[in-house]
Structure 1
Amino acid sequence: MSEYGAVVVVYAQDDAEITGALDQLESLEPAPRLIVLVSNELRRDLAEFRSRARTVEMGRNSGFCAGANRGLAELVGAGLTTGLLMNSDVHDLSTSTSRELLEALEARPDAAAVSPLISFWPDTSTLWYGGGEIIRPLWVTRHPGIGGVVHEDGALRPTDYFSGCLVMLRLAPVVRVGGFDERLFMYYDEADLATRLAERGWRSYVLARRLVAHDKPGRRLNANEAYYHARNSRILVQRYESGLRRWVGQLGAWALGVAQSPRFESPEARRAYAKGLRDSIDDLV
């Protein structure tokens, strides 16, 4: 079984959350040879964690994509060929996670990414992620089965996209396709990377084992989130669709804005979504 490293991108999380993430990573069997904490918060000092992890200060909020790429580059520079990307706010991480995901990755020579089943927290019987579906040509993503009962059968199944909440990555193909698209900043980044990998013959898989839980309550979108939801969906429509399908995808983005309306937390968020639909994306496609 190959050695691996782990990457956690942090923002303004409190020390307890970061400590909890490190405790869980260190409990894994096998444990990561290297843990990288990437700070995306200008005033977030990670000095106290340097005895447990390599710390990288981005100096600004460069977005999840840039933070993840920087962390994965640290793993590559350390000579590692696989990396575990994990959110800092996960719970109930099974000690067997690394072994099971590494074995799954090795079982499929075409696998670039493997995520497990991820439940909600604290109700770990309820499914949050059991695979990802990209609805084309709209370029909307969804988790089939979300909110249902977790069903584990141990099977390894292909999926449209992995979950950045917890994923074991084969680093060579990820680097070869350019990693996460940092221009997306956040949202739809996993779907985009998984699609670029698939175009080169690399697949994403979900392992039907519930190995972790995610505290992901239903919530409203603030202005920043609303903007990137709208803009990035348009980018991917234009990047991957053509002809009539592109036209349908672009029109659908406006219709989805109406459907998303109850999720906007303020009139400002509603205006930000509309701005995301109007802004020029020619340089981002």
Structure 2
Amino acid sequence: MKFSLTASLVIYNNDPGTLVNTLTSFLSTTLSGHLILIDNSEKPTAKDLITDQRCHYFFNNANVGFGAAHNIGMKRILGEAKYHLILNPDVTFEPGALEKLYEYMEHNPDIGLLLPRVSDFQGEPKFLCKRLPAPLDLLVRRFGSKFLQAIFQKRLMRYEMRDKDYSRPFEAPYLSGCFMFFRVEALKKVGLFDERFFMYMEDVDLSRRVHQHFKTVYYPEVQIRHGHARESYRFNGLLFAHIKSAIRYFNKWGWFFDVERREVNRHL
């Protein structure tokens, strides 16, 4: 294999300054790496930001969605390394972070997917490990009033795995798509993103498929920072996309009679 690590990064009209910070974080690694940036924007304005030979730019000329765009990148470079990183354009991390994740995966061959500790840019922790969602979890979390969320507080805390010790590694069947450190062997076994999900829920689906065959693990010894804009809370178009993806997810895996969800969540 040519590289230690490959990465794909999908953008759509992202802030150039924020994107440069993400690229700088990846390029600070001492690992041999190859990153492909897939641009879903209307114009290829981000092309000029790619100045390092370890990075390649692909202008998609259409917004095909998050998962489908990452698939375009992965199909081009997936066989070049043992590990692949799905990276959001609003994520940064310190030098040495990728090396630690690489070493941890090397010493734990049963892990197929890894997520580090995540905080926002003010240092507040983000709880991005979750159990497999039921329809009620998503409905109350997104649309419930403060009163309703208070009633279901215990359930929501359990869904976000806040009953776990976030200072220690643990398994979680759903790890956030903002930063997904994959063993390529796992992706070859379960496949790439399901392109029926234009945006949202594709990370749940892929994490779940990997979890069926490998461990999917939260690893707090490495920390990243994530903008975590939660844009579906601010834009109706993205809210609609989120709802459509949730419907497709439950149509695929089951609404109320998802035996695997019940067993996985009970085991955790």
Q: Report the alpha carbon displacement of residue 128 of structure 1 after superposing the two structures with TM.
A: 0.9
Report matched runs for 1:61-210 at 5 Å. Answer: 61-77=63-79, 79-91=80-92, 93-121=93-121, 123-124=122-123, 126-136=124-134, 138=136, 140=138, 143-145=160-162, 153=167, 155-199=168-212, 201-210=213-222
Q: Could you tell me whether the CA contact under 8 Å between 1:117 and 1:131 is conserved in 2? A: no
Q: Per the alignment, do residues 130 and 217 of structure 1 end up closer, same or farther by CA in structure 2, a change over 3 Å counting?
A: closer
**1:164 is matched by which residue type in structure 2?**
G
Deviations 1:120-168 (A, max 9, x none): 11x21x211352222336573854449xxxx864x33111112221121
Shift of 1:241: 2.2
CA distance in 2, matches of 1:225, 1:203: 31
Letter in 2 for 1:14: D
Report the CA distance shift for 1:163/1:16 in structure 2 as closer, same or farther (over 3 A). same
214, 230, 234: which one aligns with 2:243: 230
Tell me, what secondary structure is at the counterpart of 1:184?
coil
Q: Aligned partners of 1:41, 1:3: CA distance in 2, in Å?
A: 29
Q: Deviations over 1:203-224 (max 9, x none)?
A: 3111023511112356624222
Q: Distance in 1 between matches of 2:185 and 2:49?
A: 28
- The alignment's TM-score, normalised by the length of structure 2, stands at 0.77
Corresponding residue for residue 253 of structure 1: none
The code of the aligned residue for 1:208 comes to: P
On the 8 A contact 1:7/1:71 being kept in 2, the answer is yes
Who is 1:4 aligned against? 5
Deviations 1:225-274 (A, max 9, x none): 222222222222222227x527xxxxxxxxxxxxxxxxxxxxxxxxxxxx
Pairs aligned (count): 234
Q: Distance in 1 between matches of 2:253 and 2:166?
A: 33
Letter paired with 2:120: F
Partner Cα distance (1:237, 1:152) in 2: 28
Q: Structure 2, unaligned stretches of length 5 or more?
A: 142-158, 259-268
- Residue among 202, 214, 224 paired with 2:226: 214
How far apart, in 1, do the equivalents of 2:118 and 2:65 lie? 23
Q: TM-score, normalised by structure 1?
A: 0.73
SS at match of 1:183: coil
How many Å separate the matches in 1 of 2:113 and 2:97? 14
Q: Are 1:41 and 2:54 counterparts?
A: no
Distance of 2:195 and 2:257 partners within structure 1: 26
Aligned CA RMSD, in angstroms, stands at 2.6
1:14 aligns with 2:27: no
CA distance in 1: counterparts of 2:217 and 2:20, whole angstroms:
29
Cα distance in 2 for partners of 1:223, 1:14 equals: 21
User: Could you list the runs of 5+ residues in structure 1 that have no partner in the other structure?
Assistant: 247-285
2:28 and 2:194 mapped to 1: Cα distance?
Answer: 31
Report which stretch shifted further, 176-185 or 228-237: 228-237
